């Protein structure tokens, strides 16, 4: 569920105004958004910073935790040179990265260590790998947050 009706309207409006792109980033964003949306007991919020990034934040609707209920975020980065691309990030203790496809980001997610997986274009193997990280983070967060 979305944190508020405004968040739902904002992401819907944003997607509707996003032209199809040759790299498939719009479709990739929609697919990953739906993956998050399909999880039980999570809430989505959408924060727009035009010209910089647009952030889908995914959190638990239950329990308090040191992450302020956030367990993942997905930024749409507006890059003037490369065009839009995605950065899908998780707290480091919620995911593993056996293929070393992510970037370790010390103190990068609200002051905590994290892993970010950059998606520059549609690539099924990377997308599937990120979806596995979503499942892993959700399972670990569910135990930590008592979801």
Global pTM value:
0.90
Tens of pLDDT, residue by residue over 42-77, are 889 999 888 788 999 998 766 555 445 678 999 999
Structure tokens at 41: 């007991």
pLDDT of residue 67: 47
Q: What is the mean pLDDT of the chain?
A: 89
pLDDT of residue 3: 80
Beta bridge partners of 72: 58, 90
Give the CA-trace dihedral at 60, 63, 67, 70, to 10 degrees. 10
Long-range contacts of 140-145 (CB under 8 A, 24+ apart): 140/93, 140/94, 140/95, 141/60, 141/71, 141/94, 142/41, 142/60, 144/65, 144/94, 145/60, 145/62, 145/63, 145/65, 145/69, 145/71
Tens of pLDDT, residue by residue over 98-120, are 999 999 999 988 888 999 999 99
R_g of the chain, CA atoms, integer Å: 14
Question: For the chain, which residues make up each domain, given as ranges?
Answer: 5-145
Share of the chain above pLDDT 90, in %: 67
């Amino acid at each position: 569920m979305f944190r508020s009706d405004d968040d739902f309207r904002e992401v819907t409006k944003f997607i509707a105004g996003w032209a199809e792109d040759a790299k498939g980033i719009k479709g990739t964003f929609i697919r990953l958004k739906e993956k998050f949306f399909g999880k039980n007991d999570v809430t989505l919020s959408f924060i727009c910073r035009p010209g910089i990034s647009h952030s889908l934040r995914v959190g638990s609707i239950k329990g308090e935790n040191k992450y302020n209920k956030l367990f993942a975020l997905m930024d749409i980065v507006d890059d003037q040179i490369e065009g839009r691309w995605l950065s899908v990030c998780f707290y480091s203790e919620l995911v593993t990265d056996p293929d070393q496809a992510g970037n370790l980001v010390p103190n990068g997610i609200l002051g905590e260590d994290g892993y970010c997986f950059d998606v520059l274009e549609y690539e099924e193997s990377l997308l599937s790998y990120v979806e596995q990280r979503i499942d892993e983070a959700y399972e670990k967060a569910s135990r930590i947050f008592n979801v």
